[in-house]
Structures are given as C-alpha cells and as structure tokens.
Amino acid sequence: MRDTLLDSEDKLFREEIQDFMARELGPRAQAIERDEWKATRDMLRELGRAGYLTPMFKDHYRGKLANPGLTHAVMVTEEAARLSYAFETTVATALSCAYPLHRHAQAQPRERWLDAILSGQGIGAICITEDSVGSDSAGMKTTLRYDESTREWVVNGFKRYISNASVADVYLVYGITDASVSAQKGMSAVLVPKDARGMSFPRRYSFMGRRGCVVGEVRFEDVRIPADHLLGEPNRGFQIMLGMFNFERVILGGSGLGVARSAFEIAIAHAQQREVFGEMLSAKQLTWDKIAEMSWRIDAAELLTYRAAKLYDRGTDNKTLMKPAAMAKLVATETANYCADRTVQILGGDGLTCEYGRAEQIYRDARALTIVGGTSEMVKYLIASADLPLAKPKL
C-alpha cells in the first residue's frame, strides 16, 4: 500500500527526494555516524541549496510543486531518516524551530533567521526541557522578564536535552513571564541569538544512538535580548508550543517511518539469502510472523502519518489536528522500535555487530523515537483525551 494517500505530484517528489538522498546523504552517512559534524553541516547546506527545507513555507518555496506543504516536508524527513536518523534529527529540529519563527516572529528577527535556516546556512534549536520539565511543561523554571528601562527581555534558566545546542545560530526559548498564573497562561517564547552574552553550554551528551547529532545543555544567566525577539504576544507561549508540537509530531511520524523501512529492508534481504536447516530463512513460519507484522505496522504508520500531514495541508486547526498528529507519532515511532528489534532477531549474531551492516545502529537509533517530541505515554493521553472529553486528569 505504499504511498496510498499521495497524488501523482507527491509521488514524483518522493522519487526526486530519494534520488537526492541516495546521491548526497548516502556517501556521508558513515561520517555522520562517526560523529563528524562537518559531514552533517555540509549535508544540511546541500539540502538547503536544493530547496528541500522550504516546502512547508509557501512564501519561501521556489520549486516545482503546485501545492507544497507538510506532506512534502514529511517525505524529506522520512527519506533522510531511512539513511541517517542522526542527520534527520538535525533537520527536524531546524524545521520545528522554523515553524513558529515563520508564524509568530516579528519582521526583523524573522528575516534574520528564517532565511538562514531554510537555506541550510543557519541552524535552529528549541529550548523546552529542564531538570523538572519534560512532558510536564507546567513545572518550567526558566524566567523571561521584561526590562522597561532598556526595552529588553532578560532570560534566566537552564535547559537540557537540547538538539543542536552549541551549534545552532538561534535558540527558541520558552519561559515563564507571569508566575502568578498557571504556566499555560503565563508562558512566553523568545529568540536568543548564538552570540548572546550570558548564554553558555555546560555539557554535550553522549547517546547510545543518533551519534551524529549534537544534543546538550544550555544555560541562560541574565541574557538580554531586544524586545522584538518575543514570539507573538506575552503569555501566549503555551499556545505557540502546542502548534509547534503538532507539527513536530507529524514530522516524527516521517522519522519513524524512515527508520522502520530501513530496518525492514535489511530483514527481508537477509531472510531471503540466509539458508538454515536446508531451506531459506524466509521459508520458516516464525520468520513469516515477524515479516508480516513489520509489514502491516509500516503500512498503518504510513497511513496515519500522511493522513495527519494532509489534514494539516488542508488547514485543519490545531485542536482538531492534535489527535491525528499524536496517532502518527505514536504508531510510527513504536513501529520503528518494533522493526529494529525484530530485524536484529532475524539477523541473529550479525544483527549485533558493526561489521555486518546497519542493523545494530538502527536498533540504537530507534530507541529515542518513542521518547523525543512527547513520549508514547504522553501522546496516548492526548489521543484518549480527545475521545474522553469529560475526563480531566491532572497532568
């Protein structure tokens, strides 16, 4: 059922993206896995130069698509994740930063950073997570205080697990502007440039997977930024965040699909080449079971992901989009983990080694997908809350 929800123009775009990724990302994938940042940076510039970071932003898009949109951005992330989820993480973070920048930034900062990100010359980062803040943004401690005398925002706080920390050119920072009300009513979002005085990067993390992307900590100590670096209106940051999360979760559907497909391709190739007990591994019933379940899970993930992308492209409002976006993220990322695990099992010892292909790398990479951008537990709550409007658990 490949590409069931895509029209002929969409399918031609996918073919174009596949060719591009094979030509440009394929040869760089191993360098990215070795954590060579130059390879990641060069690839991002190539992606921007080709115009593949712009389909989400129609006023910036200059390609051949008549109706560019999130559907095509998801294709870009899916095909990138299929070859290198570490690189795709950098792309997805940049796009997730560009999304609220495009919709909510004032003219000067929007022009300064959006063009750079979409051309691949600049990198964005999003700062939400803290020591006590993951899915529960209500516990946010970072503060944003407006100094009337200098007409500046003053940022104080500490963020962790920030993708592109220390290498980004602009940081989208969420913090509390009014502590007298709930975080949902007293949160704002600002843009902090990379050279802002008082911003530091205490630590870069080492992960079991996604070894080619940079993730670390960001500290803000009396960081001052101009008044026009506020996104939208004061105390409207939570609404900006919700819209960004919908976008990010659909993108993560593409990420999960790409990783799942990569694992599946390895599994079916091995099963049809390996002979055991006098017949092909693919002739064994337990192998059929694994292959069949991977296959239907991938189809389900694809249908949910591109349904959500198409709904967004039709102008669906954020509240209505929340459930389809959460479903796309949940099913695609859980599918990536399932396929990665079963592929290693089908390969046996070869699936555990670096010397016999990418199965072990995909296994390590996939594990992050059910955590980043909202855990599986959190998105299940979002799905259930849409179906149980009278139930209001405290989260």
Does 1 have pLDDT greater than 90?
Answer: no
Does 346 have pLDDT greater than 60?
Answer: yes
Calpha distance 363→343 (Å, rounded): 8
137 confidence band (pLDDT: 50, 70, 90): confident
What's the confidence (pLDDT) of residue 286? 82
Q: With helix as H, strand as E and coil as C, how does the chain read?
A: CCCCCCCHHHHHHHHHHHHHHHHHCHHHHHHHHCCCHHHHHHHHHHHHHCCCCCCCCCCCCCCCCCCCCHHHHHHHHHHHHHHCHHHHHHHHHHHHHHHHHHHHCCHHHHHHHHHHHHCCCCCEEEECCECCECCCHHHCCCEEEEECCCCEEEEEEEEEEEECCCCCCEEEEEEECCCCCCHHHHEEEEEEECCCCCEECCCECCCCCCCCCCEEEEEEEEEEEEHHHECCCCCCHHHHHHHHHHHHHHHHHHHHHHHHHHHHHHHHHHHCCCEECCEEHHHCHHHHHHHHHHHHHHHHHHHHHHHHHHHHHCCCCHHHHHHHHHHHHHHHHHHHHHHHHHHHHHHHHHHHCCCCCCHHHHHHHHHHHHCCCCCHHHHHHHHHHHHCCCCCCCC
What's the confidence (pLDDT) of residue 285? 76
Instruction: Tell me the per-residue pLDDT of 165-183, one tens digit each, with 9 for 90 and over.
Output: 999 999 999 999 999 998 8
132 confidence band (pLDDT: 50, 70, 90): confident
Instruction: Tell me the per-residue pLDDT of 35-81, one tens digit each, with 9 for 90 and over.
Output: 888 999 999 999 999 999 999 999 999 989 999 999 999 999 999 99
Mean pLDDT of 332-359: 94
Does 395 have pLDDT greater than 60?
Answer: no
Radius of gyration over alpha carbons of the chain, in Å?
21
Calpha distance 202→128 (Å, rounded): 16
Calpha distance 115→121 (Å, rounded): 8
What's the confidence (pLDDT) of residue 209? 83
Q: What is the domain partition of the chain in residue ranges?
A: 8-118, 124-236, 238-387
What's the confidence (pLDDT) of residue 35? 85
What's the confidence (pLDDT) of residue 287? 83
What's the confidence (pLDDT) of residue 356? 82
Instruction: Tell me the per-residue pLDDT of 193-252, one tens digit each, with 9 for 90 and over.
Output: 999 999 999 999 988 888 888 999 999 999 999 999 999 999 999 999 989 999 999 999
Listed range (5-9, 98-102, 134-138, 334-338) with the worst mean pLDDT: 134-138
Q: What is the CATH number of domain 238-387?
A: 1.20.140.10
Class of CATH domain 124-236: mainly beta
What's the confidence (pLDDT) of residue 148? 94
Does 23 have pLDDT greater than 80?
Answer: yes
Instruction: Tell me the per-residue pLDDT of 74-94, one tens digit each, with 9 for 90 and over.
Output: 999 999 999 999 999 999 998
Fold adopted by 8-118: Butyryl-Coa Dehydrogenase, subunit A; domain 1 (1.10.540)
What's the confidence (pLDDT) of residue 211? 86
283 confidence band (pLDDT: 50, 70, 90): low
Task: Give the rounded percent of residues in the chain with a pLDDT score beyond 70.
Answer: 96
Mean pLDDT of 257-286: 84
